[in-house]
Amino acid sequence: MSPAARAHHRAAWLAAGLLALAALLLATGAGVGSTGLQSIWRALDDATARQIVLDIRLPRTLGAWLAGALLGLAGAVAQGLFRNPLADPFLLGSASGASLGVALALVLFGVSPLAASWLSALGLTGAAFLGAMAAVLLTLALARGVQYNLRLLLAGVIVGVVLGALGSLVTLLVPETLPVMQAFLLGSTGFVGWPACSLMAGALTLCLALAWALSPVLDGLTLGEATARSLGLPLAPLRLALVGVLALATGAAVAQTGLIAFVGLASPHLVRSVVKTTHGRLMLLSALTGGALLLAADILARAWIAPQELPVGVLTAVLGGGYLLWLMHRGRGQRGAP
């Protein structure tokens, strides 16, 4: 069997394993409540328990998987686009833009009845999504397009720092917004319902289709920009399309669950540690891995100190950061570095 065929075979087995793991985690998550792990079939025998499972636990569990899949896909796109293994979905300032959007929405709720009426239709999730999109557009404007990766990267860092500072300033000036902002910044899947699941499922389907169609661009960029141009790839419009996929996937996830760190950064690394494959398969596998990671973290956050919950964003940051530190230590030891 050729190396390409072996890689394809291993990728197929990995995808099947991740889908099976997702099914197991979905069943487990539907049974985890304030009293710990319960049998989902036993809960469905009682009318009240059945309503809790169908209207609260199932959408929350499915929403956690969908948000993780969006972040995993966005992480793979970001790392391929910038050719940097440290790139994450929030690199273009979307996280800071989303937090600023939520902070401004919370402030405007108390300004006037008209503003409150308009914002109640938009909702905090809509404000977070618009803030994330606005931050990405601002980054593109500062970078003057997508021609130069370094300029785009620097613009994203600047926009993230400035918008993050503005969000903190708003929270400082209006302390009443602090509890909601804290929940948003720490990340939570507790408010995800069926409408949010529908929105994230639609965004994931669209982003996966676009990412798969654009994956040859990322494969070409791994050989260098000069080689990619020699292959006839129009880099500027295709890069812009990839930035759009990155922004949509990140914004859709952040708007529903808040800021959840390290899922998008760690998922592509986990896939690459198992199989070396093209970007098309890498992005699909990263999405499946991200969904499994966030759902497992959400179940652990619910069950660890039940009936209380840990913020899932804190848990993913601790576990994801620990994994990446271990990965760096292992790589350093394999190179024989001092």
Question: Could you tell me the CATH number of the domain that includes residue 57?
Answer: 1.10.3470.10
- Whether 233 is in a domain gets the answer yes
pLDDT in tens, 123-173: 778 889 999 999 999 999 998 877 777 888 899 999 999 999 999 999 999
Taking 60 as the threshold, does the pLDDT of residue 336 lie above it? Answer: no
Taking 80 as the threshold, does the pLDDT of residue 223 lie above it? Answer: no
| One-character DSSP codes across 168-231 | HHHHHH-GGGHHHHHHHHH---TT--HHHHHHHHHHHHHHHHHHHHHHHHHHHHTT-HHHHHHT
Q: How high is the mean pLDDT of the chain?
A: 84
Residue in 262, 123, 112 with CA at minimum distance from that of residue 180: 123
- Whether 71 is in a domain gets the answer yes
| Dist CA 323 CA 321 (whole Å) | 5
Domain limits for position 26: 3-89+188-335
* DSSP strands (E only) in 206-335: none
pLDDT in tens, 145-156: 777 778 888 999
Count of structural domains, the chain: 1
Q: What is the average per-residue pLDDT within 14-39?
A: 82
Taking 70 as the threshold, does the pLDDT of residue 63 lie above it? Answer: yes
pLDDT for 38: 60
Q: What is the average per-residue pLDDT within 193-199?
A: 92
Q: Which residue, chain included where needed, has tokens 């990140």?
A: 250
pLDDT for 202: 95
- Whether 251 is in a domain gets the answer yes
- Whether 104 is in a domain gets the answer no
pLDDT for 43: 58
Taking 50 as the threshold, does the pLDDT of residue 114 lie above it? Answer: no
- Whether 192 is in a domain gets the answer yes
Residue 195, class by beta-carbon neighbours within 10 Å (0-12 exposed, 13-18 middle, 19+ buried)? exposed
Question: Which contiguous run of DSSP H or E holds residue 33?
Answer: strand 32-33
Q: Are 226 and 184 in contact (CB under 8 A)?
A: no
pLDDT in tens, 268-278: 988 998 888 88
- Whether 77 is in a domain gets the answer yes
pLDDT in tens, 242-255: 999 999 999 999 99
- Whether 144 is in a domain gets the answer no
Q: Is the dihedral of CA 136, 139, 141, 143 positive or negative?
A: negative
pLDDT for 338: 41
The first and second tokens of residue 316, run together, are 């993913």
Quote the percentage of the chain above a pLDDT of 90. Answer: 41
Q: Which residues of 84-96 are buried (b: 16+ CB within 10 A; e: fewer)?
A: eeebbbbbbbbbb
